Amino acid sequence: MAEKRFVEVYSQGMASIYKIIVDTQTGVNYLITFNAACGSGMTVLLDAEGKPIVTPMREAQN
């Protein structure tokens, strides 16, 4: 079976849900939000310098 492209590394909330997922091929971190009343969204997480946050691959796959 092929490995998952994205892995969830953080989740918070019940009515409003926030998740951080990591692309296992690039290590780039994404924030996903979902609220039943307002919809959903996804964006790349950036550091203080405006660069994408990248998780080393071994950390993302654990």
Confidence band, pLDDT 50/70/90 cuts, at residue 8: very high
Q: What is the tens place of the pLDDT at every residue in 11-62?
A: 999 989 999 999 999 999 999 999 988 899 999 999 999 999 999 977 655 5
Q: Model's pTM, two decimal places?
A: 0.84
Q: Are 36 and 3 in contact (CB under 8 A)?
A: no
CA 22/CA 55 separation, integer angstroms = 7
Higher pLDDT, 1 or 24: 24
